[in-house]
Amino acid sequence: MKQILIRPEIQSYGTFREFAADYALDERDVILTNEYIYHPIMAAENLKCGVIYQEKFGAGEPTDIMAEAILKEVKKYDARRIIAVGGGTIIDIAKVLVLEGGKDIDDMYDKMASLKKGKELIIVPTTCGTGSEVTNIAVLNRTKLGTKQGMVSAGMFADKAVLIPEFLGSLPYKVFATSSIDALVHAVESYLNPAASVFSEMYSVRAIEMILAGYCRIAKEGQEAWKEDAEDYLTASCMAGIAFSNNGCGAVHAMAYAIGGKYHVPHGESNYQYFVPVLRWYEKKAPGGRLDELKDILKKNMEAGGFGRTDSDESAVDLLGELLDRVLPAKKMREYGVVQEDIAPFAQSTVDNQQRLLKNSYVPFSREEIQAVYQSCL
Ligand SMILES: NC(=O)c1ccc[n+]([C@@H]2O[C@H](COP(=O)([O-])OP(=O)(O)OC[C@H]3O[C@@H](n4cnc5c(N)ncnc54)[C@H](O)[C@@H]3O)[C@@H](O)[C@H]2O)c1
Ligand SMILES: [Fe+2]
């Protein structure tokens, strides 16, 4: 049985300048990024390579339509390497750009197991959440299906994942908060996955420790404190990515895709909606065992960071909810426009489209149970 696979090689650089010099970027390289990430840091290097700004092809998280338009654009270049410099949106599109063997995006989903990599892929994450730099999955909104879905292919593993904390300097607080919560969910869902190994668990636990230490500091010192821990968050999100890349996320991610697809709630924010409610559901349905071990880890780390009291018997899950609320106040689904009539179709869509994730849940989730959790979050 597989214990752990870590791909690709992970590197770090103090600055983009050092990275660009080491990689000798030239005319056969294409950078996929956003203009507001390119200008403050990359523009000064007078690079010879091609640059594509994702936002020229549509706003928000990636859709099949956006990815298809960028695929056409990239064909105008004789690209040898694609360099993704951005958040999960940029990274996931770049993963599709390097694949060969599909006519269009729908066809690529149908044939994903047989797609091959045709170009080198270098990934530089500029948020601290997705861990997408170390996974072989891209998540696109499939507009005809009305939900987000993962495309999985061995050809999507990057050739190098490069951590350059300099890029996090321009990250707005809210993107920091939602993306780092996404990383925490990756670590926790991977930890609770029945297929977790002692190796994946090690990456989960270290990521949880680093993120909770940072969150406790925010609770004590205020929002700006995250910037001093930016490098830790970037490392932690990569570690959480290694963990879930080996066994997968579960019910929280499965439930998040329906609201993400219909109401365009950003990925980290939609996971946040269901994170604590799903843990509470597990507490009710399957107390003890591995969940208790997780709760011990959560509590120990929150107490070490000065959040919560050792003599309190408050559940670690409730305490975690309070800490997350200090990082970013939680919202109900209604605040995004969700109505009662959405609840049953959301539960059905989760069952129909997200079995890949649901099968990794700590305990099995029926359609009725999913619907009940959605209802509690409305
Ligand atoms: N493939 C995977 O393994 C995986 C895992 C988790 C999430 N995802 C996907 O990743 C996407 C979410 O990615 P994300 O949370 O990184 O957000 P994102 O990439 O959508 O970025 C959020 C916003 O922040 C901006 N931004 C990013 N970096 C910035 C920087 N350094 N400075 C200023 N602005 C910056 C972006 O332009 C965007 O407007 C979703 O589509 C989700 O489904 C993929
Ligand atoms: Fe995620």
Tell me the domains of the chain and their CATH numbers.
Answer: 9-167 (3.40.50.1970), 173-377 (1.20.1090.10)
Out of 35, 61, 98, 143, mutate this one to test ligand 1's pocket (max ligand atoms within 8 Å of CB): namely 61
Ligand 1 near 89 CB (within 6 A) = yes
Ligand 1 centre distance from Cα of residue 186 (Å): 15
pTM listed for this prediction = 0.96
Q: What is the pLDDT of residue 311?
A: 67
| Residue in 53, 85, 127 to alter for ligand 1 test, most ligand atoms within 8 A of Cβ | 127
Rounded distance from Cα 128 to ligand 1 centre (Å)? 9
pLDDT tens sequence across 300-327: 999 999 998 766 778 999 999 999 999 9
Reduce the secondary structure of the chain to three states and give it as a string: CCCCCCCCEEEECCCHHHHHHHHCCCCCEEEEECHHHHHHHHHHHCCCCEEEEHHHHCCCCCEHHHHHHHHHHHCCCCCCEEEEEECHHHHHHHHHHCEECCCCHHHHHHCHHHCEECCEEEEEECCCCCCHHHCCEEEEEECCCCEEEEEECHHHCCCEEEECHHHHHHCCHHHHHHHHHHHHHHHHHHHHCCCCCHHHHHHHHHHHHHHHHHHHHHHHHCHHHHHHHHHHHHHHHHHHHHHHHHHCCCHHHHHHHHHHHHHCCCHHHHHHHHHHHHHHHHHHHCCCHHHHHHHHHHHHHHHHCCCCCCCCCCCHHHHHHHHHHHHCCCCCHHHHCCCHHHHHHHHHHHHHHCHHHHCCCCCCCCHHHHHHHHHHHC
Quick: pLDDT tens for 21-51.
999 999 999 999 999 999 999 999 999 999 9
| Mean pLDDT, range 150-160, rounded to an integer | 96
Query: In angstroms, what is the span from residue 15 Cα to ligand 1's centroid?
Result: 20
Q: What is the structure's pLDDT at 1?
A: 80
